[in-house]
Structure 1
Amino acid sequence: MFHRRRATMAAFLLPAIAVYSVFMLYPLVRGLYLSFTDSLGGPVAHFVGLQQYRAMADDPAVSAALWHTVLYAVVVVVVQNGLGLLFASMLFRRPRVRQALNVVLLTPTLISPVMAAFIWSYLLAPGGGLNGLLDAVGLGSLRHVWLGDPHTALYAVAAVNVWMFTGYSCAIFLASYMSMPTELLEAAALDGARGWRRFRSIEWPLLAPALTVNVTLSLIGSLKVFEFPLVLTNGGPAGATDTLTLLVYRNIFGGGKFALGIALSVLLLVTVVVLSSATNSLLRLRERRI
């Protein structure tokens, strides 16, 4: 009976393992091998050792793109989750408008990232909607070339990312709020714990699992961002919004440096795995301590 159960389990698992191996493991191993070659994307590839990785280390554009990627991820993770937590807290306390406003917050996620980027490229243009709004409310002095200034372009692109996915973070935090024990919240209210004191002492510790999920998902998504910087700025101005994904795209599909692009994708993979794993481990440790 035991062997029959194992055989049945194996029969169900084998198709999934086969698909995973063909579409995930093999491309990963093949890509890692090609990063040590001089491949141009064709069948011919000669092993050159660490040549591509040395080229990456000597290229200031790569270190700049890595810095932009990490900075972008930090801004998105902090702002997106901060706003998501704020909105979730407000909606939890206002059940009458909770459903309607939650739908409104999730609406941007229904738009494709490319379409959202095109819409915001017009809104952030020098004569676009944002500057027009500033003029309309008497704040014309704050008009700016948001996507054309190297000092603001990366933050403007990050703002679009935040606008689109804050609803996701809010929904996860709100689900955690809804699962909080009612008796505990009522007891805290009877003891006089309200406002910031209640949030810090009761709600914040109970939100730890939701925080772990939100931070991990937003970190991975922002490190792999591609559509927003491609459509909004294409890495400009002066490389101020170049990310690792854009460098991978240019080298593989337009730069004639296929192997270097593959090596950059390996760097991106390592960056995502290391940062997300370290962040998730620290947040899980915090959960256990709480």
Structure 2
Amino acid sequence: MTQYAGIGEAKWIGLENYQAIFQDHRYLQVLKNTLVYGITVVIFQNGLGLIFASILYNIPKVRNMLRTALLVPSMLSLVIAGYIWQYLYSPLGGGLNELLASIGLGNFQQVWLGDSQIAIFSVAAVHVWMFVGYSTAIFLAGYAGISSEVKDAARVDGVSPIKSFFYIDIPLLAPAITVNITLATIGTLKSFEYPFIMTGGGPDYSTMTLGLRIFMLIFQEFKYGMAAALSVVMIVFVALITILQNSYLRSREDKI
């Protein structure tokens, strides 16, 4: 509740920082970006992780090898991964556009990090690529807790693999789903590394997240009071979403 630049006396201004946050369209855009980023990562990271885990569970001969391969991206430094993908997304000679051109899909080439409509999803895709292995590992641990008798009984009754996945696997993986969604939600809502490295929050604020905005307020604009107020908003934002999410997921577990 102060105006403070890091040196000198802090000036008491009451709730003015909070008023600025909720009246300035830029901060509302930051909240929206953070929510879009979080939803995108949570859905795709856990969706792909569940699919990979199901495939690996049913192919035990390659399970350990492929599980290790999926975890390799998470062993990289976040900074290194960000710079690698910044190069791959480059519109001039970048690996992704060159690949699309080489397989006859040149019409799908994009300015991946320079288009405000798709930049946030391009950055989110890197987050998914890096941590989908973690989600897969947790789902595989959940599969280990499913009784083989249940799967065998379903197979004997002629249940197809797709129906078994939706009506047996997913319900019995409820605890693993709760863990994965909770971890992914908390991790993405406070994320700032990839937007900072790859886009700096641009273009036109389209990839500016709460974590990145707080970082810039402190280290570039020296607005410590505003940064502290936005940090409180982020804490409340993350806490509310996590509480609501956990309440639903836990109630789902209790019904099983």
Q: What TM-score, normalized to structure 2?
A: 0.97
Aligned-residue CA RMSD (Å) = 1.0
CA distance in 2, matches of 1:78, 1:193: 27
Q: 1:201 offset after TM fit, Å?
A: 2.0
2:145 to 155, 159, 179: 179
CA distance in 2, matches of 1:99, 1:251: 45
2:127 is aligned with what amino acid?
Answer: N
In the alignment, structure 1 segments of 5+ residues that lack a partner are 1-35
Larger radius of gyration: 1
Aligned to 2:5: 40
Aligned to 1:264: 230
CA distance in 2, matches of 1:222, 1:241: 13
Aligned to 1:91: 56
Q: 1:190 offset after TM fit, Å?
A: 1.1
Q: 1:45 offset after TM fit, Å?
A: 2.2
**1:78 corresponds to 2:43:** yes
CA distance in 2, matches of 1:73, 1:181: 33
Hey, which bits of structure 1, 4+ residues long, moved more than 3 A?
Answer: none
2:180 to 206, 209, 214: 214
Q: What TM-score, normalized to structure 1?
A: 0.86
CA distance in 2, matches of 1:226, 1:244: 8
1:244 is aligned with what amino acid?
Answer: L
> SS of the residue aligned with 2:2?
coil
Post-superposition CA distance 1:67-108 (Å, at most 9, x none): 000000000000110000000000000000000000000000
> SS of the residue aligned with 1:138?
coil
Q: 1:228 offset after TM fit, Å?
A: 0.3
Post-superposition CA distance 1:22-50 (Å, at most 9, x none): xxxxxxxxxxxxxx122222463233211
Post-superposition CA distance 1:205-258 (Å, at most 9, x none): 110000000000001101011110001100111111111111111111111311
CA distance in 2, matches of 1:201, 1:246: 41
CA distance in 2, matches of 1:37, 1:210: 43
Residue pairs, 1:178-257, within 5 angstroms: 178-257=144-223
Q: Report how many residues are paired.
A: 255
Residue pairs, 1:124-135, within 5 angstroms: 124-126=89-91, 127-135=93-101
Aligned to 2:112: 146
